[in-house]
Amino acid sequence: MAFESFSAFLAMEGHGPYVWTCYAVFAILVAGTGLWSAKRHQATYHMCKRSYEQQNPKGQSASKAAATFTRVEISQD
């Protein structure tokens, strides 16, 4: 599609305001989603870090939990 000038490209035969508004809304939503996701990731990281620090105060080594396994008998009647 060829336009005579840059202003004709922006106008898009009368459809320009609708098209460029849609592009702007899309760009704002994508940027907002990215920022929201980064903020939630950071909040989750800090929450996990605080939880770990409460369970394991400084100066104490983390105790290793012993793994236990239970045999389960499966009947195929």
Query: Percent of the chain scored above 70 by pLDDT?
Result: 88
CA distance 2 to 18: 19
What is the distance between the alpha carbons of residues 40 and 42, in angstroms, rounded to a whole number? 5
Which of 11-15, 40-44, 66-70 is least confident? Answer: 66-70
What are the domain boundaries of the chain?
A: 14-55
Q: 20: pLDDT confidence band, cut at 50, 70 and 90?
A: very high
From 56, 57, 53, select the one nearest 45 (Cα to Cα): 53
User: What end-to-end distance do the CA atoms of the chain give, in Å?
Assistant: 71
CA distances from 37 to 28, 30, 53, 60 (A): 14, 11, 24, 34
- What is the pLDDT, as a whole number, of residue 57? 77
The 10s digit of each residue's pLDDT in 42-61 is: 999 999 999 988 888 775 65
